A and B are shown apart, each in its own frame.
Chain A
């Protein structure tokens, strides 16, 4: 099943300045793919469009075989609940504990408190922050904050995981551990798209890379995405 289909997607800012042009791409269920490119190439904008955080100026976006242009706001919200996002700026809420931050997507789905505690505990332990989740994000190290943001993105077992520079605050070893965690998710069916400019991460991986240059795709390396 095609999880993401971009067909001629474009995005303009201001007086017609094109950030993205003619992006066409398909990601299948369980696929793992890197999105690379220099800063300003349009990686974050493309992720925002796929995450339904921004509207494309041109083209057609299909998520989970649903044409986004044809659905109402309630259906869009339901689609968003199938997507996990790791934001580049993390977007953690400092007035909540790390546990409550991680639990937010589960609260949005209306899950029972006991079940939420169980899921949050599991994910936090898996990412190595099990003993730190009662603290406020402000009290955590950058690496731990990043892990909390990742835990929040994956706690609801999303069908699609979008991560924008998820290893930017991590050392090499932590970054590799995290990539292995993402690969495990991919193996159980989650489609993973990681925007990164960390060449150390992409070089050690055999997963396909799609490259953005001045808002245009310059083709996949390592195969797959069309």
Chain B
């Protein structure tokens, strides 16, 4: 097939360009922007969830009162090392603990001005069922006031919230996708109405329905690819700029192929959907002619 015939066909020439093309491009650009933003949010949300899982799912924190003696701390560490299911321990030094607290308390959180508790970061073996009530009891016997924090209940709450958010985003994407299909069909009908004379003429001189549908669906494909690409690239830039201005743990980067994949998927799906909707619309309109 001649590649030019894919871009414009002779019958396409019989249907002049009009404002419907620009309208479809601009509206699909907006839809592509929203869909890409939604897709990118799903990817980044997934990254955040995985990061939370990694950092919190298999971890516990033991908080020991500031005034506890080194000997008791050492005994607590020894107990933890002997506890089945615990893989790794790390006693944070006071400077490191102060840095963690600095986020909330500011630079005043210095070890020499505040009674800063000692923290032990505990990594459990993946899937291990540590007997926490028993461990808490034994630790309290060694170091009164020690507090063992389990992050999993909080993580479960975050996970549920993130899942709800992901479902809402997916529904939003589905809604704008459905709107894109309806819009493409409506623009096709409008275009056929505007050029009814030309369409009837082509029909009467022997153009088959499929031949008449081809230039219309090609036009819809061209316009939706342009609109989708504008929207997808704009959304990608938005996310990258926001990521640059407000860096988080999972900051999006230009080199992340998944972001480009989302943008490409939106462009391809927009093009294919708009083309199919246009084809159906034009065939339905033509079926009304004798």
Contacts and interface: CB of A to CB of B under 8 A. Distances in A.
Given A96-B14, A104-B14, A107-B10, A53 B198 contact: no
Interface of B: 10-11, 13-14, 16, 197-198, 200-211, 287, 290
Interface of A: 51-55, 73-74, 77-83, 85, 91, 93, 95-96, 100, 103-105, 107-109, 152
A78 B13 contact: no
B10 A80 contact: no
A102 to B, nearest CB: 11
Contacts of A104: 10, 14, 201-202, 205
B13 A105 contact: no
A77 B206 contact: yes
Contacts of A53: 204, 290
Nearest to B207: A108
Nearest to B17: A95
Summarize B's interface: helix, strand, loop or mixed. Answer: helix
A95 B16 contact: yes
B290 A55 contact: yes
A164 B139 CA distance: 104
Contacts of B11: 107-108
Contact of A85 (B197, B205, B290): B205
B14 A81 contact: no
Contact of B208 (A52, A55, A77): A77
A108 B16 contact: no
7 contacts: A74-B208, A77-B207, A77-B211, A78-B206, A85-B205, A91-B197, A93-B14
Contacts of A78: 206, 208
Contact of A80 (B16, B197, B206, B210): B206
